[in-house]
Structure 1
Amino acid sequence: MTTQDDTDVDAINPIVLQRADPCVLRHDGAYYFTGSHPAYDRIVLRRAERLEDLQAADEVTIWRRHDDGPQSHLIWAPELHRLDDAWYVYYAAAPDEAVTAPGPGADDTFDHRVYVIENTADDPFTGQWVERGQVDTGWESFALDATSFVAGGEQYLVWAQQHADVKGHSNLYIARMANPWTLATAAVELSRPEFDWETKGFWVNEGPAVLVRGGRVFLTYSGAATGIDYAMGLLTADAGADLLDPASWTKSAEPVFVSDPAAGQYGPGHNSFTQTPDGDVVLVYHARTTTEISGDPLWDPNRHARAQLLPFDADGEPVWGTPVPDTRPTPTSVDVL
């Protein structure tokens, strides 16, 4: 499988340095990229005709954190979507007191919520990004990593959120949407941390991403703390099923994408999906190249965005494989690029 210039997708990694939680959207012949900036104070956007050119592409800041209040710190995991001829970015933000938070949970100060900005211009680098505010998910608690998809003509939101009645730091929820910033239905729990691989360091289900293909809905997510134990899990459903019914979904007991010491890749996760110009599926994710992290992993900027082709078998099942080795130099210091 090749891109439009006969360059192997697996030979361009990392596609962007020091940008975790990568989201790549292909639209009108270009790749649009966003991800968590290591300073956690802004939302950035890049554009290039080829995945391999995203690293050199100009990075534009389209939104910055507020000086104070609920959107003033730790801006995480922006996701870019094109819906109803407008652009939307879902992101998580925390209030002032979150700056010294040691980790998500009831006993510390991470207190993120999910927010949305909108731009109705044809080009997201022009026009005005307007704040549509917080997505009301039904209860107030640590919430993050919203993604959106359309199936059967309906828009859905999937996100991670803590619930007082469930052990752990975040579970996965789904709801149908009335518009890109308003839920039309109550949240339904799809998954909670329950397997050993999901509960290393933190009890986490987060970073959902959705691929609708061949009459199936593939919902990936990430579990464990964000060091070398971080890995990707999978839920699947028939596209024609009631996606708001937990019984429609099957959860894999084992992770589908994990660290590969032979490739020098550790903690792969928080993925998104895009495609080549020929329509082949591309898996986008972040990973580290080291197992030694000084201090809190949150503040080490060296999670890099990567991409590789995702093949499918004769039954239409993804063949996940393992992270491919890097072919570009990566930073070894904690300096932010």
Structure 2
Amino acid sequence: MRKLFNVCLLLLLFSGTTIAQTTTGKTFTNPLMPSGADPWVIQKDGFYYYTNSTGGNIVIWKTKDITALSTSPKKAVWSPPAGMAYSRDLWAPELHFINGKWYVYFAADNGDNNNHRIYVIENSSADPTQGTWEFKGKIADSTDKWAIDASVFESKGSWYMIWSGWEGDHNGQQNIYIAKMKDALTIGSERVKVSSPTYTWETNGDLRDGDLTHVSVNEGPEILKHGNKQFLIYSASGCWTDFYALGMLTADKNSDLLNPASWKKSDQPVFKQSPENSVYAPGHNSFFKSPDGREDWIIYHANSNPNEGCGNKRSPRAQKFSWNKDGSPNFGVPVKDGQPLVKPSGTK
């Protein structure tokens, strides 16, 4: 009996050690990498493809474990030629798969921020880290005003582009615009403004490079679909402030998305800084599903200390989120650096 007891005890201890090791092996901590602003993730054929702003080129990471970005292979897939209108300040690239081809939408200029516009490159390879990326030009509505942070999405068989832009030719306020697309390379309607900074939490930040004394910001729009709703999650206030945060617009999926009245703005941010967790200026996010499709996750950039601004100290972070009873997303509070989190379900 004693021998049997000892054997069972050893088995239990061994089993416990194995379980502990397995659990530890399935956790991760934020940040995912030391630096990486404007993170974007898309899933296809069992892989995550990730990109973020580098300023000078387009880089794509390929991985089956999005939380292992720091050790995942990456490839610089495209660099602009010198001396062009799109050679400098490449911001917020987004990778999309549309009608059998890959597209990267990004903002760029010639070194003068006033000239920022949206550009697009195309690749017909099944794997966006392979094949050849071809520059297809600028993509703009008829006004051709300052524009950054383009994203595209499909709704009821039509494709739309959303972005952050100026109403006129001078800085002072960034709005969120939407337009219907004719195809992946062409805007097919007039732009419609669906959001302007109106609440106090959207208007933090003195203008740094102009003759105005204040700037209000809505930027980084992303679409999140759930049930019969479409949520437009955007970043508000200056990215150079600790008050950079996420706001939300809500529309019924069957509504006219080009009608501003279809979009209802929440009066409070849905994700903001957490001084108690030492996370500042969280924003410019995207969304992804766990490998098994059971969980919803947000990936975003943030700073680990106050007053770190819009530089290379912004790092990508990920955390699981849930849904409120009314069907809206509940992103919770940004988790602190180094806190162990269980990896997305189905991660191998």
With normalisation by structure 2, the TM-score equals 0.84
Contact 1:159–1:174 (Cα < 8 Å) also in 2: yes
| 2:233 equivalent in structure 1 | 220
Please give the per-residue CA displacement for 1:240-266, whole angstroms capped at 9, x wherever unaligned: 111111111101121111000111100
Aligned pairs (5 A) from 1:14-29: 14-29=31-46
| 2:47 equivalent in structure 1 | 30
| 1:311 equivalent in structure 2 | 322
Please give the per-residue CA displacement for 1:279-307, whole angstroms capped at 9, x wherever unaligned: 221111100001133xxx34x31100111
Contact 1:10–1:309 (Cα < 8 Å) also in 2: no
Unaligned runs of 5+ in 1: 99-108, 330-337
Partners of 1:231 and 1:315 in 2: CA distance: 22
Match of 2:250 among 236, 240, 243: 236
Match of 1:146 among 143, 150, 161: 150
Structure 2: which amino acid aligns with 1:16?
M
CA shift, 1:168, in A, is 3.0
Structure 1: which amino acid aligns with 2:259?
D
CA shift, 1:278, in A, is 2.8
Match of 1:327 among 307, 315, 338: 338
Match of 1:247 among 261, 264, 285: 261
Partners of 2:24 and 2:290 in 1: CA distance: 11
Match of 2:56 among 41, 44, 50: 41
| 1:335 equivalent in structure 2 | none
Match of 1:89 among 87, 91, 104: 104
Distance 1:33 1:76, change over 3 A: same
Secondary structure, aligned partner of 2:276: helix
CA shift, 1:180, in A, is 0.8
**2:212 pairs with 1:206:** no
Q: Give the fraction of aligned pairs with identical amino acids, expressed as a percent.
A: 39
| 1:301 equivalent in structure 2 | 312
With normalisation by structure 1, the TM-score equals 0.87
| 1:135 equivalent in structure 2 | 139
Partners of 1:236 and 1:54 in 2: CA distance: 31
Structure 2: which amino acid aligns with 1:25?
I
Contact 1:10–1:308 (Cα < 8 Å) also in 2: no
Secondary structure, aligned partner of 1:204: strand
Q: Which moved more, 1:274-283 or 1:234-243?
A: 274-283
Partners of 2:114 and 2:183 in 1: CA distance: 28
Contact 1:151–1:212 (Cα < 8 Å) also in 2: no
Partners of 1:302 and 1:22 in 2: CA distance: 13
Partners of 1:7 and 1:207 in 2: CA distance: 34
Please give the per-residue CA displacement for 1:173-196, whole angstroms capped at 9, x wherever unaligned: 111111111011111110011111
Q: Judging by fraction of residues, say which structure has more helix.
A: 2
Structure 1: which amino acid aligns with 2:322?
P
Match of 2:279 among 265, 268, 283: 265
For these two proteins, the number of residue pairs brought into alignment is: 308
Contact 1:74–1:93 (Cα < 8 Å) also in 2: yes
Structure 2: which amino acid aligns with 1:276?
S
Secondary structure, aligned partner of 1:262: helix
Contact 1:117–1:129 (Cα < 8 Å) also in 2: yes
Please give the per-residue CA displacement for 1:104-161, whole angstroms capped at 9, x wherever unaligned: xxxxx43200001110110111111011110122213321000011111111100111
